[in-house]
């Protein structure tokens, strides 16, 4: 029996969230989704390894219809992932329509089924500009819908909604998270590309310019100014 079903991609944010909940002695049930993004395979390898090492119950759900039917450059069926800063307009092509709503709905149904009173997701303030389903007003409405739609049984929590990715990186370092065993790059290659918006933000979060980032990047020193 779990206290919390955690949406767990295997990326750095959700890995820190899971580590934080484990640190708080919560019984967690990690839930990963393979929805056909270019980087799902790499993320899920990381998620699987973390759960194995930390004896966390782990469910992986595949959603092939997303890649088959939805439009996004993040998907294998999509156009190319853009390079550049996470905050640029062209990063909007990486939106997977209502992705967080879909993941959270399934997590809510699973939570009710396994008797967990909480669902947690690691969306954060750095996501707000690009992804509408990561913003505080969405979070509030969705949590309300889940509470009502489960007859008061499940609450959705967004513990990182007020933090940016740098603060999440700092928290993870304090918790002893091995960031080299997490995946961020949207391109899903052999190593992190270092040039896509997601890598760009990872560098900022992990303090690449100060030498704190343990990630191997294909192109480490690109010319983007981080916020």
Binding site for a copy of itself (CB under 8 A): 59, 61, 65-66, 69-71, 96-102, 104-106, 108-114, 132-133, 135, 137-138, 141-142, 144-146, 148-151, 154
Q: Which is nearer to a copy of itself, 12 or 111 (CB)?
A: 111
**β-bridge pairing 28-34 and 4-7:** parallel
Q: Which is nearer to a copy of itself, 128 or 166 (CB)?
A: 128
- Give the shortest CB-110-to-a copy of itself separation in angstroms: 6
CA 176 to chain CA centroid, nearest Å: 19
- Give the shortest CB-134-to-a copy of itself separation in angstroms: 9
Q: Which two tokens stand for residue 115?
A: 């008797």
Is the sign of the CA dihedral 160, 163, 167, 171 positive or negative? negative
Residues 6 or more apart whose Cβ sits within 8 Å of residue 63: 33, 34, 35, 36, 102
The DSSP symbol for 136 reads H
In degrees and rounded to multiples of 5, residue 118 shows phi and psi of -140, 145
Q: Which residues of 140-173 are buried (b: 16+ CB within 10 A; e: fewer)?
A: eebbeebeeebeeebbbbbbbbebbbbbbbbbbe
Q: Which is nearer to a copy of itself, 28 or 108 (CB)?
A: 108
CA gap 99, 84 in Å, rounded: 22
Q: Which is nearer to a copy of itself, 19 or 108 (CB)?
A: 108
- Give the shortest CB-208-to-a copy of itself separation in angstroms: 31
- Give the shortest CB-89-to-a copy of itself separation in angstroms: 13
- Give the shortest CB-119-to-a copy of itself separation in angstroms: 10
Q: Which is nearer to a copy of itself, 119 or 205 (CB)?
A: 119
């Amino acid at each position: 029996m779990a206290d919390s079903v955690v949406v767990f991609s295997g990326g750095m944010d959700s890995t820190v969230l899971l580590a934080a909940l484990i640190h708080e002695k919560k019984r967690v049930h990690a839930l990963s989704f393979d929805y056909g993004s270019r980087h799902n395979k790499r993320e899920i390898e990381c998620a699987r390894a973390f759960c194995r090492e930390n004896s966390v119950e782990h469910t992986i759900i595949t959603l092939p219809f997303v890649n088959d039917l939805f439009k996004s450059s993040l998907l294998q069926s999509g156009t190319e992932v853009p390079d550049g800063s996470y905050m640029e307009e062209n990063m909007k092509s990486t939106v997977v329509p209502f992705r967080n709503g879909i993941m959270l709905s399934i997590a809510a149904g699973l939570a009710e089924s396994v008797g967990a009173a909480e669902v947690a997701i690691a969306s954060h303030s750095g996501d707000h500009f690009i992804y509408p389903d990561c913003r505080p007003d969405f979070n509030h409405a969705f949590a309300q819908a889940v509470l009502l739609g489960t007859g008061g049984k499940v609450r959705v929590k967004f513990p990182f909604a007020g933090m940016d990715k740098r603060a999440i990186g700092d928290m993870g370092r304090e918790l002893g998270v091995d960031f080299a065993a997490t995946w961020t790059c949207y391109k899903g290659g052999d190593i992190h590309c270092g040039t896509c918006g997601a890598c760009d933000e990872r560098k900022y979060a992990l303090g690449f310019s100060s030498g704190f980032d343990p990630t191997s990047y294909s192109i480490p020193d690109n010319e983007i100014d981080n916020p």
